[in-house]
């Protein structure tokens, strides 16, 4: 009977621990504010996905030839679900688990605003990847401005410690991150350049009617008060930072289906996959390769979030090599290696060219040298 009672008590304790939210029992210092806060979430490994199936190349005509590769690049994702007391107890010593405050997960935006901007980040990442890949292969491609999407509102007066905003732009009362500006004073707006032209001649304090599109609410008519730029008092602005929504004009049809994934961290992986599709041979050789990192227009590779968690997911999937951004810094890369263990080779790169060299060193077929830029 005592053993049965102990067993039942143990089951009861585990059941309670699995249902009690971690935010009731666990706290950590918020990295942004320095204040101790509850930790209701944790960033954890998610999935490793094939990229080749996400990219569709249409009729190339005489412009190019497609060489479907036998190998494949893999991208990796993380997630940040709510945590229980039990998951906090289990994950506290796991290097692949990072507990997060609500502020660390969402920042100053709402979850819906973050979802909207994550999806926009992915779309822009796809566009830049296509631009960089095709330009690297010598094709004639152009990048043009896209829709006007609000990323953040301008802060006119930050607090002394820079953590909070004492005074936002007047437009903050009617505009939010994630809003898309469609019409300004009766004129349709397609790019930031259009918006700038419509603001010419206006002054701080002017009220301008606008039509915006807000996630989950649809189109809204708002009256926006203009303000002076905090960096240039002679310049009148709406008072927001635009999201980069540039789009590429391609010589043939190509599309990327992100499969519900948001954010820009698959940019380098998309770029390498497109290059592999449009060149003879196998960039990956006989090696299973996972890739993470943003891609910029000049071919440099940018840092991403959740590298430790991604490294753990990649290691569990049996991948040979994981190409990551050198921009993460030595400490973050060392933590990723600790989370992945000894069976995964993690290689840090700064540029697309370095990534191509890493693949060639491990048996991948090299591609032709980059075309020389015209002299001026």
Q: What is d(CA 262, CA 283) in angstroms, rounded to the nearest whole number? A: 26
- 262 compared with 270, residue with greater pLDDT: 270
Q: What is the pLDDT of residue 56?
A: 87
Q: Where in the chain is the domain with CATH 2.30.42.10?
A: 148-242
Per-residue pLDDT tens digits for 229-246: 988 888 899 999 998 888
Q: What is the pLDDT of residue 273?
A: 94
Fold of the CATH domain 47-78+117-142+252-361: Ribosomal Protein S5; domain 2 (3.30.230)
| Contact in structure between 245 and 124 (CB atoms under 8 Å) | yes
Per-residue pLDDT tens digits for 308-346: 999 999 999 989 999 999 999 999 999 999 999 989 999
Residue 374 has pLDDT above 50, yes or no: no
Per-residue pLDDT tens digits for 30-54: 777 778 888 888 888 888 999 988 8
The dihedral through the CA atoms of 78, 294, 111, 123 has a sign that is negative
Per-residue pLDDT tens digits for 209-231: 999 999 889 999 999 999 999 88
Does the domain at 148-242 match CATH 1.10.600.10? Answer given as: no
Q: What is the pLDDT of residue 29?
A: 80
> 247-249 and 142-144 as β-strands: parallel, antiparallel, unpaired?
antiparallel
What percentage of the chain has pLDDT greater than the value 90? 46
Q: What is d(CA 273, CA 94) in angstroms, rounded to the nearest whole number? A: 32
Q: What is the pLDDT of residue 7?
A: 57
Q: Where in the chain is the domain with CATH 3.30.230.10?
A: 47-78+117-142+252-361
């Amino acid at each position: 009977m005592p053993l049965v009672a102990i067993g039942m008590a143990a089951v009861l304790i585990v059941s309670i621990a699995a249902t009690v939210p971690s935010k009731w029992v666990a706290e950590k210092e918020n990295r942004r504010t320095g204040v101790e806060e509850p930790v209701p979430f944790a960033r954890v490994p998610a999935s490793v996905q094939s990229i080749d199936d996400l990219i569709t190349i249409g009729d190339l005509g005489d412009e190019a030839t497609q060489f479907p590769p036998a190998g494949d690049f893999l991208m990796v994702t993380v997630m940040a679900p709510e945590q229980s007391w039990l998951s906090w107890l289990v994950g506290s010593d796991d290097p692949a688990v990072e507990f997060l405050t609500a502020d660390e997960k969402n920042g100053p935006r709402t979850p819906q605003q973050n979802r909207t901007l994550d999806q926009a980040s992915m779309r822009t990442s796809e566009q830049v990847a296509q631009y960089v890949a095709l330009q690297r292969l010598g094709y004639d491609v152009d990048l043009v401005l896209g829709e006007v999407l609000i990323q953040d509102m301008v802060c006119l007066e930050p607090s002394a410690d820079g953590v909070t905003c004492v005074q936002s732009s007047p437009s903050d009362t009617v505009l939010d991150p994630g809003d898309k500006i469609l019409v300004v004073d009766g004129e349709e707006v397609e790019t930031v350049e259009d918006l700038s032209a419509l603001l010419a001649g206006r002054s701080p304090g002017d009220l301008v009617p606008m039509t915006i599109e807000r996630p989950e609410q649809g189109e809204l008519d708002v009256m926006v008060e203009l303000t002076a730029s905090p960096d240039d008092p002679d310049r009148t602005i709406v008072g927001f930072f635009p999201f980069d929504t540039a789009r590429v004009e391609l010589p043939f049809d190509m599309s990327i289906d992100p499969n519900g994934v948001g954010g820009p961290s698959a940019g380098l992986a998309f770029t390498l996959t497109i290059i592999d599709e449009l060149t003879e041979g196998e960039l990956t050789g006989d090696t299973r390769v996972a890739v993470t990192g943003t891609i910029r227009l000049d071919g440099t590779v940018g840092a991403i979030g959740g590298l430790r968690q991604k490294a753990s997911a990649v290691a569990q999937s049996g991948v040979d090599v994981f190409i990551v951004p050198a921009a993460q810094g030595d400490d973050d890369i060392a933590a990723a290696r600790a989370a992945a263990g000894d069976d995964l080779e993690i290689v840090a790169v700064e540029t697309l060219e370095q990534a191509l060299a890493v693949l060639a060193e491990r048996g991948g077929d090299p591609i032709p040298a980059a075309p020389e830029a015209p002299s001026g």
